[in-house]
Amino acid sequence: MTGMWSAEGRVCMVDVFAEIRELVIAELTAQLGKDPDDFDASAITIERPKTVAHGEVATNAAITAAKGAGRQPRELAVGLAASLQTDPRMASVEVAGPGFLNMRLKPEVWKENLRSVIRAGSSYGGNDRGNGRRVNLEFVSANPTGPLHVGHARGAVFGDALGRLLEFTGHDVTREYYLNDGGAQVDTLARSAHLRYLEALGKEIAFASGDYRGDYLCQVGVALKETYGDRFVGRPEEEWLDRFRKFAVDAMLDSIREDLYLLGIRMDRFFSEVSLYQDGRIDDAIEQLRQRGLIYEGELLPPKGGHEVDWEPRKQTLFRSTAHGDDTDRPIRKADGSWTYFAPDIAYHYDKISRGYDELINVFGADHSGYSKRISAVVSALSDGRTPIDVKLTQLVRVIKDGGAAKMSKRAGEFVQLRDAVSAVGPDVTRFVMLMRRNDAQLDFDFEKVREQSKENPVFYVQYAHARICSAIRKVAQSGIDTDDARLAEASLERLGHPDQIALARRIAEWPRIVDLASRNHEPHRVAFFLNELASEFHSLWSQGNREPELRILQESDLPGTTARTALARSVAVVISCGLSILGVKPMHEMRN
RNA sequence: GGCCCCGUAGCUCAGCAGGAUAGAGCGACCGCCUCCUAAGCGGUAGGUCACAGGUUCGAAUCCUGUCGGGGCCGCCA
């Protein structure tokens, strides 16, 4: 799994750390006289120590295994070190501290890995961990009552990047948007559109409180005028509400699709809430819960603190979500007998489960934090615990403009729209900046800083590294050296001997681990951080070329060395390009003014 | 009152399903362009990882509690 056979019949490593891990486990089980296939190695870590004194690769294998085997950690470590030492890849193995094994590999291991990197190209670092598992990834799901704002953009970018990451690690991802086209807010939208329609016909209008006043509805009003003329002027609501609702929702959906498209995002499916009200699909889902004894008539306790005065006990139809980890049971019917918002959500998740996904992921905005437990409870209940669900919350985006936080009032379109951000700084910068933070940490989106083309702006820093490499390779090619990947992968790498060159090769070898970790934890930001580190290390090596000319990539007097250094640089570019594509950012081949 | 997230350097944040001397950027200070793009690089200064217990050979990381910041909490969606 971690190695593949090349045409020449030798093993090409695609993940050095995974290879070493296998080696360690093999030697360890041999020492302990255990069957490697029947050995729990989950506690064994392979890591890159922070300090060089601790070697290049370290493992806690002896420490963790000693406990269960009734052996002394250090004594076990010494034996393990001796057998590891005989592996041809190993330069040295030392026992340290309570039983750590600090290994150094022969430089050739890191250098040879560069060939695999170049051969693998854009697939380097990917793996098949998902094994085709079908993942439903729901994100954005903003109400179709207006254009997306920067907060939605964060959820959109996060969800899409997570999708790419999962695809890169062998998952079959469905990107889905739950369209709340059925609630009262859509009626309000229709009424607001009606007002804009009247306005387009030259009438005086007055908004009611709660109406959507954003001017994005003006063009909807104009379109309505063009479609219906003055048919619905002064007519009762029953005559126009349904068709205005559909008209406005369609218009908003188009606008949302357009916004997402600006960020390079395409949903596989928009799932309509309204469709759930048809064919008794909500009843079906509730019935499933009922059969599991999770539906009952009862009263909720009042929420404690301040508001008891307004509280009137009321008998309601409740879902016993506490049986699946929620804090309180949840109402599914309002007092008038109609469904609460939660009921179609139950049906929606029942639908997802019925579609046979192996895993569900929901990306919610911070304002839905209180919602995650009940959704998890629903999925747990309806799948009988079989379908795992991960709810990821994206925290607020604070927009900084002119040095201060911009107002983000929900009223009257005062929020900063997604398309404003994208048109100001472009999709690539928007995406990268939003992925430079963990999803659950608040994020500042500073319009000024993000436009700077300096180290302050991480996307340019990474792009600059890539552009530098492309530029260098162009120059190398001009000097008559064949820089095709196929040729670079075959280059003699003898001339790569400087510690910093080896260190860079080592960094490149970490990429598969980063991908795996980011994918497992659903944390695409790790990719962005890694790219930053890689770029930094490359820039550093590049600048050293100023002081030490033998480190420069292109040296006319040393063509074999030039080819080797080009291969190293090319490997960096492969990883940057690959990482950026996970983030959904296009690599730049040259920087323009 | 309950639940969720957060609390790491002056500021903004990383810290890899516990690991060995806690990192980066910005800001501050000192340096580096006869050199493949200085849109860059090197160095110095700066932290009782909010606090207190617990688990462990070992805790910034896991558990409990406290304090502080943000968010959510039926008859909106």
Q: What is the pLDDT of residue A270?
A: 96
Nucleotide B20: closest residue by CA–C1': A97
Q: pLDDT tens, A476-519?
A: 998 889 999 999 999 999 889 898 999 999 999 999 999 999 99
Distance measured from the CA of protein residue A162 to the C1' of nucleotide B4, in angstroms:
22
Nucleotide B22: closest residue by CA–C1': A50
Grouping H, G, I as helix, E, B as strand and the rest as coil, residue A120 is helix
pLDDT of A7 above 50: no
pLDDT of A569 above 90: yes
Q: Write out the two tokens for A131.
A: 């094994």
pLDDT of A411 above 80: no
Grouping H, G, I as helix, E, B as strand and the rest as coil, residue A392 is strand
Q: What is the pLDDT of residue A409?
A: 45
Q: pLDDT tens, A98-122?
A: 899 999 999 999 999 999 999 999 9
Which of the nucleotides lies closest to A551 (Cα–C1')?
Answer: B36
Nucleotide B13: closest residue by CA–C1': A437
Q: How far apart are CA A56 and CA A48, in angstroms?
A: 6
pLDDT of A462 above 80: yes
Which of the four pLDDT bands, split at 50, 70 and 90, describes residue A454? low
Q: How far apart are CA A50 and CA A488, in angstroms?
A: 31
- Nearest CA to A544 out of A570, A565, A564, A574 is that of A565
Q: What is the overall mean pLDDT for chain A?
A: 88
Domain A454-583, second-level architecture? Orthogonal Bundle (1.10)
Q: How far apart are CA A449 and CA A533, in angstroms?
A: 20
Q: How far apart are CA A570 and CA A564, in angstroms?
A: 10
How large is the average pLDDT for residues A539-554? 90
Neighbouring residues of A262: CB distance < 8 A, sequence distance ≥ 6:
A418, A419, A422, A423, A427
What count of other Cβ atoms lies within 10 Å of the Cβ of residue A395? 17
Q: Which nucleotides of B are covered by protein (CB under 7 A)?
A: 1-6, 12-26, 32, 35-42, 57, 70-77
How large is the average pLDDT for residues A555-570? 92
Distance measured from the CA of protein residue A465 to the C1' of nucleotide B53, in angstroms:
48
How large is the average pLDDT for residues A364-371? 84
Q: pLDDT tens, A242-272?
A: 999 999 999 999 999 999 999 999 999 999 9
pLDDT of A452 above 80: no
Q: What is the pLDDT of residue A93?
A: 94
Which of the nucleotides lies closest to A338 (Cα–C1')?
Answer: B75
Half-sphere exposure of A348 (CA within 13 A, CB side): 24
Say what the ipTM of the complex is: 0.93
- For chain A, the domains span 3-105, 184-262, 454-583
Q: What is the pLDDT of residue A226?
A: 96
Compare A318 and A413 and report the one with higher pLDDT.
A318
Distance measured from the CA of protein residue A302 to the C1' of nucleotide B75, in angstroms:
12
Which of the nucleotides lies closest to A273 (Cα–C1')?
Answer: B77
Q: What is the pLDDT of residue A195?
A: 95
Distance measured from the CA of protein residue A105 to the C1' of nucleotide B46, in angstroms:
36
Which of the four pLDDT bands, split at 50, 70 and 90, describes residue A456? low
Nucleotide B12: closest residue by CA–C1': A444
Is A454-583 the same fold as A3-105? no
Q: What is the pLDDT of residue A310?
A: 61
Q: pLDDT tens, A171-192?
A: 999 999 999 998 888 999 999 9
How large is the average pLDDT for residues A55-78? 89
Q: How far apart are CA A107 and CA A460, in angstroms?
A: 31
Which of the four pLDDT bands, split at 50, 70 and 90, describes residue A210? confident
Q: What is the pLDDT of residue A262?
A: 95
How large is the average pLDDT for residues A323-332? 87
List of E strands, A211-272? 269-272
Compare A69 and A389 and report the one with higher pLDDT.
A389
Superfamily of chain region A3-105: Arginyl tRNA synthetase N-terminal domain (3.30.1360.70)
Distance measured from the CA of protein residue A436 to the C1' of nucleotide B9, in angstroms:
20
Compare A300 and A494 and report the one with higher pLDDT.
A494
Distances in Å between the Cα of A473 and the Cα atoms of A123, A179, A480, A485 are 21, 48, 11, 11
Neighbouring residues of A301: CB distance < 8 A, sequence distance ≥ 6:
A328
Q: What is the pLDDT of residue A80?
A: 93
Which of the four pLDDT bands, split at 50, 70 and 90, describes residue A45? confident
As a whole-number percent, the residues of chain A with pLDDT over 90 amount to: 62
Distance measured from the CA of protein residue A46 to the C1' of nucleotide B63, in angstroms:
26
Distance measured from the CA of protein residue A584 to the C1' of nucleotide B75, in angstroms:
44
How large is the average pLDDT for residues A535-540? 93
Distances in Å between the Cα of A577 and the Cα atoms of A252, A442, A452, A492, A509 are 35, 27, 22, 24, 15
- Nearest CA to A435 out of A506, A539, A363, A512 is that of A363
